[in-house]
Structure 1
């Protein structure tokens, strides 16, 4: 699995070997990586020597709303007839362990655990049947939402776009059974969401087609594929994690705005 990490104040890329708790260093001048088989240097590092960062640097994060049947039901909203898209800015992205900041502008902060798709190469008007050629891999994501602002604004830019509102990580899995992946979200160790991507209304190839019909996707861009039922509130001090089979666990916590 591919990672980005910080060591001695510099950002690097690597290949994570979890069973050995090691990182295999890959060529640093290939940013963003556009291959599922990056060139490796032969150097190895212990996980204790590095700090994990968000596994990619998207120019934009394209999010899909209401893409799980059970989540639409819990929100009391009719199933969409086509993918519902909204954007998070690149400044919303943070990596594993980097805190979610609870803004003073909201009093109702919510989590949404999601599977994220990472784009490999420029994608414009891609057909669903060709989508796999444009996908680098998959990672865990948390779509953080100021729920009160979402309801009051009527559109979602402010509610979804604060800095730190898009944790990503810990790594990019370049192979994944994404049609049947289990997603588990925990808050302070308690399971809040537990579902399978089998519940997706619009499958991932269709999402790549729909998004790329609207906007050009760049290498490293991310598509968040929607959240299952069980969304809920976060408070300052909470720890939240999202675990996806075949990827790992993304863990972070909530702090108050200074």
Structure 2
């Protein structure tokens, strides 16, 4: 089942997307139940929004073996975690704003997990029961700032600019996350071609690990890391993250000077 958040005539809704492009509108958040509102909209008349409004976002570093190898890092012995501010999140076809002082900004295509119910001290065996669904993500990163911060053991601004977490376009609720093909394209050229089978810590392990130390809340996003092939982007570029069974997340990069205040 594919769930999306969308707007029509300035009002936002959640709905279930059918193969014919029809959207069965829901009464409220799908995290609270899939109750039909009695209306049917069409994708062609809707603007697709990020799956949830300003969620908590957890990020993972070096969680694909091939990516660790390409950047000269050893395989981590525990999940390398950071957080991205909720204001980084944008939706499908929204613009990534290139920082005015940016020098080396990279794309990172990622499978993103959305938590469906409160999770604390969850076992790996039960972890997937707490998942609402899966979507595409792009962990946009300012490498210059990221490296400066990392020298002092922290990481926030390099990952935390507004618009640095495109998420979407839909949430697929029925998916096995252990063996999914992921492709990232820049201007139509394939830059990443990976599979979640290469994850160091899979979805179940990540949920169990995080919930051991903190309560995961409905709507929390876990960006699971990026495959090999990350690289720079610039204003004018179009980035596409495609994940098998979910779809394509597409975002254009704009210069900060082209954005209306």
TM-score under structure 2 length normalisation = 0.94
Unaligned stretches of 5+ residues in structure 1: none
Q: Which residue of 2 aligns with 1:211?
A: 210
| CA distance in structure 2 between the partners assigned to 1:85 and 1:212 by the alignment | 13
Task: Specify which of 118, 125, 129 is matched with residue 129 of structure 1.
Answer: 125
What CA distance in whole angstroms lies between the structure 2 residues aligned with 1:213 and 1:104?
39
- Name the residue aligned to 1:33: 31
Q: Which residue of 2 aligns with 1:166?
A: 165
Give the match's secondary structure for 1:179: coil
| Contact 1:71/1:227 (8 A) holds in 2 | yes
Who is 1:186 aligned against? 185
Match of 1:52 in 2: 48
* Residue 113 (str. 1) matches residue 109 (str. 2): yes
Structure 1 residue 138 corresponds to structure 2 residue 137 = no
Post-superposition shift, 1:32?
Answer: 5.5
Aligned ranges 1:1-258 → 2 under 5 Å: 1-17=2-18, 19-28=19-28, 31=29, 33-35=31-33, 38-154=34-150, 155-258=154-257
> Would the aligned equivalents of 2:57 and 2:220 in 1 still touch at CA under 8 Å?
yes
Structure 2 unaligned regions, length at least 5 = none
Report how far residue 41 of structure 1 moved.
3.0
Give the drift of 1:59.
Answer: 3.4
Cα-Cα RMSD: 1.2
In 2: Cα distance, 1:227 partner to 1:112 partner: 6
Question: Structure 1 CA distance, aligned partners of 2:231 and 2:24?
Answer: 38
Q: Distance in 1 between matches of 2:46 and 2:108?
A: 28
CA change 1:214–1:58 in 2 (3 A) is farther
Q: How many positions carry a matched residue from both structures?
A: 253
Q: Quick one: distance in 2 between partners of 1:131 and 1:105?
A: 41
In 2, the alpha carbon distance for the partners of 1:220 and 1:34 equals 11
Q: Is the 8 A contact 1:61 1:222 kept in 2?
A: yes
4+ residue runs over 6 A deviation? none
SS at match of 1:163: coil
Give me the whole-angstrom Cα distance separating, in 1, the residues matched to 2:135 and 2:243: 8
TM-score normalised over the length of structure 1 = 0.95
Distance in 2, matches of 1:238 and 1:34, equals 37
